[in-house]
Amino acid sequence: MLYFLSEFSEQFGALNVFRYLTFRTGGAVMTALLFAFLVGPSLIQWLKRKQREGQPIREDGPEGHLLTKKGTPTMGGIMILLGMGIATLLWADLTSGYIWAVLLVTLGYGAIGFADDFLKVTKRNTKGLPGKLKLLGQVGFSGAAALWIILLGEGDQATSLAVPFFKDLLVDMGWLYLPFAIFVMTGASNSVNLTDGLDGLAIVPVMIAASVFVLISYLVGNAVFANYLQIHHVPGAGELAVFCGAVVGAAIGFLWFNAPPAQVFMGDTGSLALGGSLGALAVVTKHEIVLAIVGGLFVLETVSVIVQVASFKLTGKRVFRMAPLHHHFEKKGWAEPTIVIRFWIIAVILAIVGLSTLKLR
């Protein structure tokens, strides 16, 4: 919205600053962060009042959770989504179709997660929405967004997959790209959802990935930089740097309240939305494989579940003491903060590897 102020830069030269992506991205970070700090405490109090006993804790989980997590309210994702939404609407160029496509996935997935959390809290069980219904909703929102993104794209590139390290390799998938894009968004969403099982465990890797995508969006959207780095130029993708800034700011603000011992959990309201937004960013910027690297921690957690369930079904034996992977280390006796901080370190290393794909071509 503030972007339109730059139209008056002829009369008031200072307003030209609203034209700059860097300035508006910084503004989005600060707006989302301040929103979380200002609204967080009262939102948590309100959630506590409404939820009384807080997040229903699974009986079959790590024993400690039943003691230490009881009474913690969920749906803290409301503060994340409100902060991100307000910051994006305030600082992004709202004529950008990419901004609205990514917001469609983010808020659509957030609504699915909210319904899931609401059922869990009101029915006092950990079932929530039936899995198939959640997936159907995710496919619906991501399908609409993917179609929109393809139509906004240019020529064959719109339905092509870029491969990191191979600058000239663009695999044109034709209309197969649509189900692929849906897979990226729903996969990223459910991976973040699975990962969000310890205080601070999901929100920091999300923040790290969003920070990487601030840079990727900016570079991919800038013809000069894209040409210099020999990455695929996606006109208009630069505006997503503002959205990524809003994610980073909201994530830092939420982390203040989710740091151990968490005062609030983000809930599926936050985890499904944040994962979906990362998937949508990867699709617009044609960095799907890079997202799998940068978000490798989410991939690792999901693969641990797939391996565990497959092994248990096929052989009756478990590969891990419990899946996802963070529970395995809990069962091994690692303290929760130890697991969380070591997983953060892995996320930082993977982000550096992901960033290296911009240069090594």
The reply to whether 309 sits near ligand 57M by the rule CB under 6 A is: yes
In 3D space, the residue among 353, 101, 86 whose CA is nearest the CA of residue 245 turns out to be 86
Query: What DSSP line would sit under 161-192, residue for residue?
Result: EE-TT-TT-EEE-GGGHHHHHHHHHHHHHHHH
The reply to whether 81 sits near ligand 57M by the rule CB under 6 A is: no
The reply to whether 335 sits near ligand 57M by the rule CB under 6 A is: no
Map residue 231 onto helix, strand or coil. Answer: coil
Map residue 227 onto helix, strand or coil. Answer: helix
**Least spacing, CB of residue 162 vs ligand 57M, in Å:** 30
**Least spacing, CB of residue 322 vs ligand 57M, in Å:** 4
Out of 26, 61, 179, 235, name the contact with ligand 57M by CB under 6 A: 61
Nearer to ligand 57M, 55 or 357 (CB): 55
DSSP state of 287: -
Distance CA 292, CA 106 (A): 18
Nearer to ligand 57M, 159 or 308 (CB): 308
Query: What are the respective helix, strand and coil percentages of the chain, to the nearest 5?
Result: 75, 0, 25
Distance CA 226, CA 264 (A): 41
Name residue 237's amino acid. A
Nearer to ligand 57M, 324 or 354 (CB): 324
Nearer to ligand 57M, 63 or 156 (CB): 63
Binding flags for ligand 57M, 314-333, as an x/- string (CB under 6 A): ----x---xxx--x------
**Least spacing, CB of residue 92 vs ligand 57M, in Å:** 27
How distant, in Å, are the alpha carbons of 174, 216, 220, 232, 245 from that of 168?
A: 18, 18, 15, 9, 30
Nearer to ligand 57M, 59 or 168 (CB): 59
**Least spacing, CB of residue 8 vs ligand 57M, in Å:** 43
Query: What DSSP line would sit under 288-344, residue for residue?
Result: HHHHHHHTHHHHHHHHHHHHHHHHHHHHS--SSSSSSHHHHHHHTT--HHHHHHHHH
Binding flags for ligand 57M, 233-272, as an x/- string (CB under 6 A): -------------------------x---x--xxxx--x-
**Least spacing, CB of residue 111 vs ligand 57M, in Å:** 15
**Least spacing, CB of residue 113 vs ligand 57M, in Å:** 8
The reply to whether 231 sits near ligand 57M by the rule CB under 6 A is: no
Instruction: Check: CB of residue 157 under 8 Å from CB of residue 287.
Output: no
Instruction: Check: CB of residue 47 under 8 Å from CB of residue 73.
Output: yes
Nearer to ligand 57M, 230 or 261 (CB): 261
Interacting residue ranges for ligand 57M, rule: CB under 6 A: 55, 57-58, 60-61, 65, 69, 74, 193-194, 196-199, 258, 262, 265-268, 271, 305, 308-309, 318, 322-324, 327
